[in-house]
Amino acid sequence: MLPPRCLVLLMAGTLHAQNLPVEVANLREDVRGLSQRLGELALRVEQLERENAELRGQLSAAGRAQVTLAQLRESLAESAREARAAVAASKAETLQQVATQMEKLAKQTNAALESLARTNGARAPAAGFAEDFPREGVSYTVQKGDTLAVIARKTGGRAQDIINANKLADPSRIQAGQVLFIPGGK
């Protein structure tokens, strides 16, 4: 499995895939959430270490008056075991959450790449398409009954620009569910 940064870079190379900007934003939000959770867990570990140090201090002060050295050592060892167990549990929980998110991100990335591969594989490169269409625009999912003229009217794009941008050899063969890039569309 690729590291998250590589997955994001791979996804960045597939900007023409359906909803890719939304998926990238969702992935960034997931990574931000995981980073925040990791920070919270680090703060909790620091708090536990401070509490442990306080308890050791209290135990030490009380031990001078009433506790034997052996009892003090046992108490400190128990506190250390509890602290290590808490840290280990916290790490395990964090790693499980990260693993779950990574698996989810990997599935989303694979789905996006497969979608892009299908889209690119189904559309053979065709010669004779002009490259003078606007580079900015929107994605549009073809609805049942849509024609190129209807799509151009709905989105404010030009039919010829849509043909050129999507390299449509036969514009009458667009299908419901197909995603088109609409240059200059709104």
Residue 162 pLDDT level (bands cut at 50, 70, 90):
very high
What mean pLDDT, rounded, does the chain reach?
84
Residues 77 and 157 in one domain: no
Indicate which CATH number applies to the domain containing 159.
Answer: 3.10.350.10
Lookup result for tokens 């490259």: 131
pLDDT at 125: 46
Residue whose C-alpha is closest to residue 179's, from 13, 19, 14: 19
Average pLDDT, stretch 122-140?
Answer: 76
Residues 66 and 91 in one domain: yes
Residue range(s) defining the domain that contains residue 170: 137-183
Residues 86 and 175 in one domain: no
Residues in the chain: 186
Taking only the tens place, the pLDDT of each residue in 35-85 is: 999 899 989 999 999 999 999 888 777 656 665 788 888 989 999 999 999
Residues 83 and 106 in one domain: yes
Taking only the tens place, the pLDDT of each residue in 87-127 is: 999 999 998 998 899 888 888 888 888 888 787 655 544 45
Rounded to an integer, what distance in angstroms lies between the CA atom of residue 68 and that of residue 56? 14
Least confident of 29-43, 116-130, 164-178: 116-130
Residues 172 and 88 in one domain: no
- For residue 130, tell me if it sits in a domain: no
Residues 99 and 152 in one domain: no
pLDDT at 163: 93
Rounded to an integer, what distance in angstroms lies between the CA atom of residue 143 and that of residue 183? 18
Rounded to an integer, what distance in angstroms lies between the CA atom of residue 10 and that of residue 17? 12
- For residue 128, tell me if it sits in a domain: no
pLDDT at 81: 93
Residues 17 and 94 in one domain: yes
Residues 80 and 158 in one domain: no
